[in-house]
Amino acid sequence: MDAEISKTEQGLRLGEAYFLTEDVPRLARELLGKVLVTFLGGERTAVMITETEAYEGPVDRASHAYGHRRTRRTGTMYLPGGCAYVYLCYGMHHLFNVVSAPAGVPHAVLIRAGEPLEGLSLMLKRRKMDKIEKRLTAGPGSLSRALGITTALDAEKLGGPKIWIEDRGIRFPDKEIAAGPRIGVDYAGEHALWPYRFYLKKSKWVSKR
């Protein structure tokens, strides 16, 4: 079931205040249905967010900022909510997170998947694919590649002009949303079991069922 959104429709850009909450699991759930837009090199691409994960900084063993760890990489998460945290994973994947909470509280939401809405041909080109299929934008590394997001955007504010998030009024009832353990964080012990991953049950644009 594809979201019905015209190519030219615009939504309300979420401002910094939206991202200042410390309730990062709630924010992760709220971001489902929001529209992530990049405008790079004069070209625009957009997806509707379908899968997210919350990382609760200091108290979360799965977070890079567990125990207030502060390094060159994690410093970005201590910025005020509303900017991008982009880092390189496994040497080749640029993973995009939304920094959350006020300055000094290193919470973040990993955006794991989305439904393609705009700039489909450019997304295909960036992914070196020739037809639209799930793997275009399902999975955090694939999503970033399709949207042109790299570590060059680390610490970039989500107010535009390069990258922002819109509310186009798309809403989902709780019964259409699944919550479960996060992916690929087994090293975090029992914290890996926290139900901090959220996704749309009915969407095909999700990395794993």
Partner DNA sequence: AACATGATAAACT
Partner DNA sequence: GTTTATCATGTTC
Binding site residues, DNA, CB under 7 A? 53, 55, 62-65, 69, 71-74, 77, 85, 87-93, 95, 97, 108, 110, 127, 135, 139-143, 182-185, 187, 207
Please report how close the Cβ of residue 92 comes to DNA at its closest, in angstroms. 5
- Residue type for position 157: K
Measured from the CB atom, is 178 or 183 closer to DNA? Answer: 183
> Residue-wise over 72-90: b if at least 16 C-beta within 10 A, else e?
eebebbbbbbbbbbbbeee
Q: Which burial class, exposed, middle or buried, applies to 131 when counting CB atoms under 10 A from its CB (0-12, 13-18, 19+)? A: exposed
Measured from the CB atom, is 5 or 179 closer to DNA? Answer: 179
Please report how close the Cβ of residue 53 comes to DNA at its closest, in angstroms. 6
Measured from the CB atom, is 77 or 165 closer to DNA? Answer: 77
Contacts of 131 (CB under 8 A, 6+ apart): 124
Measured from the CB atom, is 12 or 152 closer to DNA? Answer: 152
Please report how close the Cβ of residue 110 comes to DNA at its closest, in angstroms. 3
Please report how close the Cβ of residue 42 comes to DNA at its closest, in angstroms. 25
Q: How far is CA 105 from the centre of its chain?
A: 18
